[in-house]
Amino acid sequence: MQINWDDMRTILALVRAGTLAGAAEALAVSYTTVARRIARAEDMLGQPLFERRPEGYWAGAQARELAEAAARMEAAEQAALRKLSGRDQGLSGPLTLTAPQLLIQSHLAPFLAEFCRENPEIELTVRATNEVLDLSRREADLAIRISQTPSDTLVGLHLADQKTACLARPEIVAQATADPETRLDWVIYSGHSAPPKAALACYPNYRIRARFDDMTSLIAAAKAGMGVVRMPLYLGRREADLCPLPAIAPQDYAPIWVLSHPDLQHAAKVRQFKAALKRFFRSHQGDFIG
């Protein structure tokens, strides 16, 4: 009795995702292909691996055991591929970067265009997301992350420190300037309980008008006049409709890093990209720290 690798990978993906659609997305196949592979594995074993429930697929004991075996096989496969890629001294072929969408939009797009012009044989793929992709599973070769503690297991290159500012519509800023004791409306990030302490020291009366779970929505809400928003300086400088609150100095924020797996640190494409990225951020330091 033997299950082929495609079916093992599919079992692993379905255990991880819990739904046909999620497994299909992870494997870059159709959900019908996932269902067919699971049915094939179950027919061969002579018993079900998953319980079909309204909310998705619940993995039984055998499915979890097979998934653990598949994860070990996947890790070995990815380690071998990373080591091969790490010895690649050519400046051609695929290179995958993950980075926050807003950073791409505000700064990285011109850099990426220039990098591609200077390295026409490199096939760049950019995954614009705030999700932390797994570099050990080769979901990306390089990751640009904003973090105080980027990783203990990856090779990190510090790109820039950052500061934040508190901004709002000019009429809100004018009101706060005229009367620091007036109640100030805020829009803040989901999970935060209050505005920054530095702001409250200057403007102690506040009301949380709304919480949002991403920065694009926060900026849109502030531009619509819902209240003050705290945002990185590099974004605030681009918003002509918003003004900084006086008396609040820019506050320290998590720095920007580029990370790669240790197996890839000597690959020519990775080194080329990191060196170019470092030069770019050095020339734009003022955008991030004022």
Q: 288 or 76: which carries more pLDDT confidence?
A: 288
5-86 and 163-253 agree in CATH topology: no
CATH 3.20.20.70, domain 163-253, yes or no: no
Q: What is the pLDDT of residue 226?
A: 97
pLDDT in tens, 222-248: 999 999 999 999 999 889 999 999 889
What is the predicted pLDDT for the residue at 88? 63
Please compute the mean of the pLDDT values over residues 47-56 and round it to a whole number. 90
* Confidence (pLDDT) at 131: 87
Q: Which CATH class for the 93-159+261-283 domain? A: alpha beta
Q: 5-86 is classed in which CATH architecture?
A: Orthogonal Bundle (1.10)
Residue 1 reports pLDDT greater than 70: no
Q: What is the pLDDT of residue 36?
A: 92
213 pLDDT above the threshold of 70:
yes
As a whole number, the mean pLDDT across the chain is: 91
Q: What is the mean pLDDT of residues 21-34?
A: 90
pLDDT of residue 87: 65
**pLDDT band of 74, cuts 50, 70, 90:** confident
Query: Is the pLDDT at 200 greater than 70, yes or no?
Result: yes
pTM over 0.75: no
Higher pLDDT, 3 or 10: 10
- Asked if residue 250 lies in contact with residue 163, where contact means CB atoms within 8 angstroms, the answer is yes
Task: Assess whether pLDDT exceeds 70 at residue 108.
Answer: yes
Which pLDDT score, from 0 to 100, does residue 82 have?
A: 66
- pLDDT for 100 beyond 70: yes
For residues 7-13, average pLDDT? 92
- Condensed to tens digits (0 to 9), the pLDDT of residues 155-177 reads 999 999 999 999 999 999 999 99
Token pair for 235: 């974004």
Q: Where are the domains of the chain?
A: 5-86, 93-159+261-283, 163-253
**Cβ atoms of residues 85 and 75 within 8 Å:** no
User: Is residue 80 predicted with pLDDT exceeding 80?
Assistant: no
pLDDT of residue 86: 61
Contacting residues for 133 by C-beta, under 8 A, at least 6 apart: 98, 127, 139, 140, 143
User: C-alpha distances in angstroms, 189 versus 55, 77, 178, 215?
Assistant: 29, 39, 27, 8
Confidence of residue 84 (pLDDT cuts 50, 70, 90): low
- What pLDDT digit, counting tens, does each position of 245-258 carry? 988 989 999 999 99
